[in-house]
Chains A and B, each alone.
Chain A
Amino acid sequence: MCSLSKPLRQKIDRTKTINKPAKKPSLPPLNNICDIDTLRTLIKKNKVRIVDVRKKEDYLKGHIKTAVSLPLAELLANDDPESIIAILNKLGISENIPVVIYDDTFGALASRVAWSFKFVGHENVALLEVTYDTWRKLGLEIERKSNKYPKTSHPLKVDYSIFADAEYIEKAQNDKNKIIIDSRERLNFLTEHIPNSKNIPYTMLRSENSILRSPLELKRFIENRGIDSNNEIITYCGSVGTLSGLTFFALKTAGLSNVKLYPKSFKEWKSLGKPKTEFKDATYWDLSAE
């Protein structure tokens, strides 16, 4: 593939030299997003549980060193709090260990899993700032062997402050302080959306090489939108809360404290026959060059 560029090599070398003498007992908890250097340090110290949410077969072909496999579909198959706890225990995730999650798309799948872990009470969780593909292209540590860790027994402390359902959305619709964010792409939003929701397409959130833009940029974006820390935000997307999961973490990164995810999203909303706003006065789909 590609060879390493000079600045990056320096970055990696620097990490190495820093690591040896450092022997601090406890690291600060992860804060929603984990950069490459931090993860490499954690791997070396053996102080992290890395979760690979890609398909099992992709995991078997190669994954980040020490990572365990949890295909997103496995979590979605049964995502009530008890089942999620069972998954944490099976993966050997104890209450305090930092968890870093990655995928091969643009962070959306990882976000959905990370949100679920937070939901059942595992706070020390973050998304890796890059996708697996980028990690691999950078020539960082990967391996093929399947990892398994001793079973744990994680306590269940459901955090309903980050959760929303259809009923909650309905109440929020006319509350000026609560902002409903649709994370789908613009043309899908224009076609139909939950009444009174605003559109922040997931495509706005990423930068060229990272699954999320810098906190500074994200902060400016939401300030432009007239959103501030007094607002409560509820995010949703098309079906299972992946794109909106990414929005959840983007908004957290931007410094918003009160963010909720509607994991069942627009798919459930429609199946419940709830009202939608449709925009039929323009033929915008015909602008697409696809």
Chain B
Amino acid sequence: MAKSIEYDVLSSSKKKDQDTNEKWGLAEESEYFANKVKLYRQDKLNADEFRRFRLQNGAYGSRLNSEFSMIRIKVPGGDITPSQMEKIASLSESFSIGSAHVSTRQNIQLHWVQLEDVSEVFRGLAEVGLTSREACGNTIRNVMCSHFAGVCPNEPFDTTPHAKAIARFFLRNPICQNLPRKFKFNFSCCAEHGYVRIADVGLVPTIKDGIRGFRIYLGGGLGAASFIGHLLEEFTPESRLLSTSIATIRLYDRLGNRENLARNRMRYLVSEIGWEKFQELLLKERILVEATISIPTKTTFDGFLRSSSKAGDLAINQSTLNSRGKKLPVINSGSSNSPYDRWLNTNVVAQKQPGLYSAYITLGAGDITANQLRVLAECLREFSMEKKARTTPQQNFLIRYIKADQLPKIYNRLSGIGLGNPGANTIVSTVGCSGTTSCNLAITNSHRLAKEIQSKFLELNIDTDHDFVDSTIKISGCPNSCGQHEVATIGFYGGASRIGTSMVPIYTMLFAGSTGESGELGKAVMRVPSKKVIDVVMKIIEIYKKEKTNGEKLNEWIHKVSVGSGTNGVKNMEDMKKILSPIIELPPLTSAPEFYKDYGNDTNFVAKTARGECAA
């Protein structure tokens, strides 16, 4: 019989960081899941009950095929280690499709996993400390944290420990196992980099009179109806982070809508009773929480906070950090357009630590193969002083703590396996949810469209043009906003429309959404057939190039147009529509049938969806 064999000689770098992984997953939950699947298959567990259980554990049903699941692996704070990446790589090869997918909420998803194999994936995840528990369902979803937290030049302090402590405190916590609906936290590093206005709880760190604290925004969120979060109070000290969070969750749990699936997120509660009323109730609730919170509870949370801070400090050898700043690499070299310079200009960012840099891995709509994940893991061990990476809401990875002289080496390694694409902080890095590739709710193939746009932009060297820095394109396959189209410079969400006698995949285009503390929601412009989206985007770029004044960037110009302060030919959205209308005209079906089909599909378009599982 074969023994299980382990040859160190064949895997030299493995298992070195295994023990430093934070422990989120529990091996016993895997077995428990396997047993539930058996009971369900033997009809001893009804479908609804099983579904709720499955979602609570992070496995979604796949598009129109109940045999398969999508497993959403939580990455708390977006923080991920090399051994975790390697495990995800091997799990994706064994049980999924050989690639993994970074989501806009910093999760990593494995698609098309046979339901009966889900427990095996859980088992593997727990081995490296990961879990998908409460990644779906009516619970606290993955706690997000800015990928720059800890390295952002504008941050007052690193919020990673706070994000991790909140994640740890609420994971498996009885007070949030059955909320009216899902609940999302987002921690920022500064006023610019977070997605704080579109979360149930968004937190921007700040220091007042020497005391650490936050500006907390409540009741934001994207969806069929989206809202921007409200500022709770000017300053919430760090010491009240836990009580404010508990109070919010308790209030929502008590008052949130449990009847109407379409209106049960906290943002609807806030909008229905009015912000002032909600704020008043919340502040009262917090007093109650603070009066009744037990010392052990408080100490537990403080302990989580301390240990996450320590873990962060340990990861980086502080003494090497303050070594004399190396000369800046040639950021903005301008003249040269070598692949390396293109990458350097748009993917490498200076950290607040002198002489250290962070580098983006630009993925296509968040997809990465098992082999790429393995190379990425090697790169982290070799080039990142913290030996970790962060997932980003733009569906990319960020490798941090790289010394200047290592940048060419890491670039060579990454580009050797197709991970060296430029354009991360420009419009090139297009976001696309999974769309019809796996989601029950999707109407269009937003995922493929995002990849098509990115390839087109790279082909046209759009990344080398400074005008497109900070602009974004984000695409969702339905109005539910997983692609976060409402906070994009140019956003799109999928739908279906009748043209003549045929159904056509179309996108509603939005302008001038933005993230950060002053984030705004985009405004709908017009509807564009799927196969005309690229033409429309190219036309917008052409008009912008003609109309822009004084070096304004694309996002600045689009914002101006969206508020009616454009100039010359394009003053407002109406002018824009007029110019774009001829572009979206479709040729007759008989002469150009491909315009009536969606990307990735050679059959006629039908808008097919099934019940969503976002709400358990």
Contacts and interface: CB of A to CB of B under 8 A. Distances in A.
B612 to A, nearest CB: 15
Contacts of B447: 283, 286-287
A288 B112 CA distance: 11
Contacts of A285: 437, 600
Interface string B57-79: 00000111100000000000000
Nearest to A284: B437
Interface string A257-290: 0000000000000000000000111111111111
A150 interface: no
A96 interface: no
Contacts of B369: 288-290
Given A186-B112, A282-B436, A283-B435, A8 B93 contact: no
Contact of B5 (A185, A210, A289): A210
A278 B12 CA distance: 43
Contact of B99 (A2, A130, A279, A288): A288
B4 A284 contact: no
Interface string B17-59: 0000000000000000010011001000000000000000000
Interface in A13-34: 31, 33-34
Given A2-B9, A209-B7, A286-B448, A281 B65 contact: yes
B3 A214 contact: yes
Given A210-B4, A224-B34, A203 B98 contact: yes
Given A212-B2, A283-B448, A284-B112, A204 B12 contact: no
A162 interface: no
B98 A215 contact: no
Nearest to A130: B5
Contact of A286 (B63, B120, B445): B445
A185 B98 contact: yes
A252 B97 CA distance: 25
A129 B1 CA distance: 9
Contacts of A145: none
B2 A281 contact: no
A208 interface: yes
Interface in B383-432: none
Contact of B363 (A31, A34, A215, A289): A289
B608 A224 contact: no
B5 A129 contact: yes
Which of under 10, 10 to 19, 20 to 34, or 35 or more describes the interface residues of B?
35 or more
Nearest to B62: A282
B2 A33 contact: yes
A221 interface: yes
A151 interface: no
Contacts of B434: 287
A187 interface: yes
B437 A289 contact: no
B11 interface: yes
B436 A204 contact: no
A281 B112 CA distance: 13
B601 A204 contact: no
A35 B7 CA distance: 14
Interface residues of A, number: 52
Interface string A167-198: 00000000000000000011100100000000
B305 to A, nearest CB: 36
A281 B368 CA distance: 23
Nearest to A126: B2
Interface string A203-238: 110011110111101001100111000000000000
Given A215-B2, A284-B438, A138 B9 contact: yes
B372 A289 contact: yes
Contact of B437 (A203, A209, A286): A286
Interface string B77-106: 000000000000010011111110100000
B438 A287 contact: yes
Nearest to B603: A280
Nearest to A1: B9
B362 to A, nearest CB: 12
Given A214-B4, A224-B117, A190 B9 contact: no
Interface in B561-616: 598-601, 603, 608
A134 interface: yes
B38 A226 contact: yes
A7 B8 contact: yes
Interface string A153-167: 000000000000000
Interface centre among A7, A186, A286 (most CB of B within 10 A): A286
Contacts of A138: 7, 9-10
Given A281-B63, A281-B65, A289-B364, A5 B116 contact: no
Contacts of A207: 4-5
A116 interface: no
A2 B2 contact: no
Interface in A116-140: 129-130, 134, 137-138
B1 A2 contact: no
A137 B1 contact: no
B127 interface: no
Contact of B97 (A129, A186, A214, A279): A186
Interface in B324-366: 363-364
A46 interface: no
B181 interface: no
B51 to A, nearest CB: 19
B6 interface: yes
Contacts of B608: 281
Given A186-B97, A285-B600, A287-B101, A221 B117 contact: yes
Contacts of A201: 94
24 contacts: A2-B12, A5-B9, A8-B9, A31-B1, A36-B5, A185-B98, A187-B112, A204-B95, A207-B4, A208-B10, A208-B90, A209-B6, A209-B11, A224-B37, A282-B62, A283-B436, A283-B445, A283-B598, A284-B97, A286-B445, A286-B451, A286-B600, A287-B437, A290-B98
Given A8-B7, A199-B114, A226-B41, 7 more contacts: A2-B10, A8-B8, A35-B1, A36-B5, A221-B120, A283-B445, A290-B369
Q: Which 8 pairs, one residue from A and one from B, show the smallest C-beta to C-beta distance?
A: A289-B367, A283-B600, A5-B8, A281-B64, A289-B99, A286-B448, A282-B63, A214-B4
